[in-house]
Chains A and B, each alone.
Chain A
Amino acid sequence: MTGPAELQVARPTVALFATCFNDTMWPQTPRAVVTLLERLGCRVVFPREQTCCGQMFTNTGYADAATPLVRRFVDVFAGADHVVSPSGSCVGSVREQHAVLARRAGDAGLEREVRSLAPRVLELSELLVDVLGVTDVGAYYPHRVTYHPTCHSLRMLGVGDKPLRLLRAVRGIDLVDLPSAEECCGFGGTFAMKNADTSIAMGADKARHVRETGAEVVVAGDNSCLAHIGGVLDRQRSGVRTVHLAQVLASTQEEQA
């Protein structure tokens, strides 16, 4: 393995927000973040008091239930220089929704704290490219891969082509464009349950586009979207598996994350 580029910031400390969903259902993803960042020379800390950003509550209409989670998030992470999370949608919730929730609750102090913290909360590709200044993270991943840009990373956070720049620098990868890549996969949180038929119609089309690429692996920056896309692909016995971006980037010749 060749070493990655020199970091813009010397040995930064990065607080990991694993997200409740990844912590419980996809631990391999935050583990890959840890592997990757430590390999790049960061110090990773995991504040154990963290739980959930509240997005599921907010987006389903349960703002009152989400507000204490905003408070908790601020309390846990306020001291961090950089917070990273392997979920565009949870980062989007922190950056775009927490302040709205604080204001709705009439808590000006909390809103101030949120506005101060939110810009330091980054999706993985943002941390790597914007803060650490790397696109070649020294990864090796010898598979045919297509990349689905999730809606919240693309349109809420505006990560642009950062994930693709990171993927293009991966050794051994055979990266193919996904047709209609920017169209929503149909997950949408509780949308997948409340409007299951429409969600599945969207998922079926996304799965079709994935299969058209001939890819073996579909990669995205959000396990929730991947669970939906992968759920459809698995049901079809499509022979395509889903992998989080962090795991591709953490993989090396010696070790697949």
Chain B
Amino acid sequence: MTDLPAQETSPTFLGMPSFQHAAEAALADTQQRRNLAHATATIRAKRAAAVGEVDGWEDLRLAGAAAKDEALHHLPHYLEQLEAALTARGATVHWARDADEANQVVVDLARAKATDEVVKVKSMATQEIELNEALEAAGIAAWETDLAELIVQLGEDRPSHILVPAIHRNRAEIREIFARRMGAVGRAAPDDLTDEPARLAEAARLHLREKFLRARVAVTGANFAVAETGTLVVVESEGNGRMCLTLPETLITVVGIEKVLPTFADLSTMLQLLPRSSTGERMNPYTSMWTGVTPGDGPQEVHVVLLDNGRSRVLADEAGREALRCIRCSACLNVCPVYERTGGHAYGSVYPGPIGAVLNPLLRGTSSEVDRSLPYASSLCGACFEACPVRIDIPSLLVRLRTQVVDEASGRSAEAASMKAAAWVFGDHRRLEAAQRAATLGGRLLGDRTIRSLPGLGAWTQARDVPTPPTETFRQWWARTHGDDEGDLDDARGQPVVEEQDLGGAGPHTRQEGS
């Protein structure tokens, strides 16, 4: 792999513990466990129904993957095309190598407008670069306007999901946050606020409306940026996106360079894949598309910041680059049994869940404890790959990243030593047979007693019994019953069976069937 610069871990996530360690605390958070189980089960069912309606879903997935691959494989070409199309339509294009550069562009633009606040549409790219913190340091307030982001911002919390950042909060917690915090930053919540979702949404509507009506600068991300036409696309539900994209005079859009789509026609694929995968709807309530400046309609000053921040490094990784197809739908989170139980914070990044477990080590490298642990934060069950609308083979990427972690450690661990020893045993069947004789000896000594603890197997036996080894291995049984018929395949092929074997005999003693 070429040594292109990795993304620097943002200040919030520096020194994060390993996933395993963070997960222990998350698993003990019973409120979050319940909230997540309810929310992910709900959205899984919705997604399954919405996807099930579409004939040829697999063809759509292939078309989606092909569109993103076309863009990624020719990214310099399409970015230059995008820049030319945007410029021709009156937009200003900025390029940012990393988070600091992107933040500086936005801060400078806001300062030039002499404003002390911006309204924001939920955006993963601006979370990734911690733009809000950079604006705050420059004395500019950044108001998050997505309901969930508002909950997170008011609660001085961190998002735990790509699509539903406050998925870890329930209605009672949200009511408490609104009642306690809204008044400090604008219109207070009504005194009689209840925890009904409709009342909570109404409180957010009233609180944010005054901000929308007075805002002069908006900052957004984009779901797609069409190279052919210069069209930017924001997919949303609440209308906060439309407010930000329409009312302020100045619009600044921060876009990861992997968001490029080659052609406008590719939107026909993506607008079928994204909503059904994401919120499980046939279509999200609002999708806005704008191409530069439209005289007399919407912002008359339009800026686009194209952000690298480690993406070129991922692109240089021939196997890893498919992770850049990600359209941030979060389908993989919602189907992931690990995410469902640990929540998003344990992933140590704004990108949680299965895609985060591959994207973070790809973007940031595997030098930190959390990034080394993330590839192992999966049982490799494959539900993520099955759900991914652009067919990112997340399990294979996880395995490849595990190899990277092991290779970088250069064999200096107890695990590496035991793996090496095991590989030596498996390297020859005679060695395996010798090792098996030790195991069956253990089985004969134990009889049919249950193993409830075993030295070195604490991680297993803390909640599970251990199967007792049998007194006879399969190959010992085969030798005893089938003798010399070891299966010289070339001789055996196509020959008739000449003898019937006696297949009697009881199985060995384990707690599994057969005892």
Contact = CB atoms under 8 A, between A and B. Distances in A.
Chains A and B in contact, CB within 8 Å: yes
Contacts of B488: 45
With a 10 A CB-CB cut-off, give which of A77, A195, A223 has the most chain B CB atoms: A195
Given A27-B473, A243-B513, A51 B379 contact: no
A217 to B, nearest CB: 7
Given A15-B487, A188-B379, A198-B338, A234 B511 contact: yes
Contact of B489 (A15, A152, A255): A15
B503 A28 contact: no
Interface stretch (B18-26, B121-129, B148-156, B269-277): B18-26
Contact of A50 (B385, B429, B472): B429
A100 interface: yes
B111 interface: no
B428 A186 contact: no
A243 B376 contact: no
B419 interface: yes
B508 A187 contact: no
Interface in A149-170: 151-152, 154-156
Interface stretch (B95-103, B221-229, B291-299, B399-407): B399-407
A50 B382 CA distance: 28
Interface in A178-234: 182-184, 186-204, 217, 223, 226-228, 230-232, 234
Given A20-B432, A27-B508, A28-B512, A232 B463 contact: yes
Determine the interface band of chain B, counting residues with CB < 8 A from chain A. Answer: 35 or more
B322 to A, nearest CB: 14
B496 interface: yes
Contacts, number: 271
With a 10 A CB-CB cut-off, give which of A25, A27, A30, A200 has the most chain B CB atoms: A27
Interface residues of A, number: 97
B386 interface: yes
With a 10 A CB-CB cut-off, give which of B27, B416, B427, B512 has the most chain A CB atoms: B512
A13 B474 contact: no
A81 B477 CA distance: 24
B376 A195 contact: yes
Interface string B431-456: 01001100100000000001010000
Interface string B258-288: 0000000000000000000000000000000
Given A152-B382, A184-B379, A196-B460, A47 B486 contact: yes
Contacts of B425: 51
A38 B501 contact: yes
Given A23-B474, A184-B379, 15 more contacts: A23-B475, A24-B474, A31-B507, A45-B489, A51-B432, A61-B407, A62-B406, A69-B426, A155-B381, A183-B381, A187-B379, A199-B379, A202-B379, A227-B512, A244-B512
Given A23-B474, A59-B399, A72 B382 contact: no
10 cross-chain pairs, A with B, having the tightest CB-CB distances, nearest first:
A188-B379, A45-B487, A231-B464, A28-B514, A61-B402, A61-B406, A184-B381, A79-B489, A28-B507, A155-B382
A195 B464 contact: no
A202 B513 contact: no
Interface in A90-137: 96-97, 100, 104
A56 B479 CA distance: 27
A252 to B, nearest CB: 11
Interface in B472-515: 472-479, 482, 485-490, 492-497, 500-501, 503-504, 507-508, 510-514
B460 A69 contact: no
Interface string B288-328: 00000000000000000000000000000000000000000
B434 to A, nearest CB: 12
A22 interface: yes
B462 interface: yes
24 contacts: A13-B492, A23-B436, A26-B467, A27-B477, A31-B474, A34-B478, A35-B503, A49-B429, A51-B428, A57-B423, A69-B426, A104-B403, A151-B379, A151-B383, A152-B382, A183-B337, A186-B337, A189-B379, A193-B460, A195-B20, A195-B379, A200-B464, A227-B512, A228-B464
Interface in B381-435: 381-383, 385-386, 396, 399, 402-407, 415-416, 419-420, 422-423, 425-429, 432, 435
A49 to B, nearest CB: 5
Contacts of B467: 25-26, 227, 230-231
B341 interface: yes
A69 B20 CA distance: 30
A78 B465 CA distance: 38
Contacts of A47: 486-487, 489
A196 to B, nearest CB: 4
A235 B513 contact: no
Contact of B482 (A46, A154, A184, A201): A46
A192 B460 contact: yes
Contacts of A146: none
Contacts of B379: 151, 184, 186-189, 191, 195, 199, 202
A42 to B, nearest CB: 8
A60 B510 CA distance: 27
A176 interface: no
B462 to A, nearest CB: 7
Contacts of B495: 13, 43
Contacts of A194: 20, 376, 459
A68 interface: yes
A193 B459 contact: yes
Contacts of B23: 195, 197-198
Contacts of B470: 25-28
With a 10 A CB-CB cut-off, give which of A28, A46, A58, A80 has the most chain B CB atoms: A28
Contact of B403 (A63, A156, A189, A247): A63
A201 B27 contact: yes
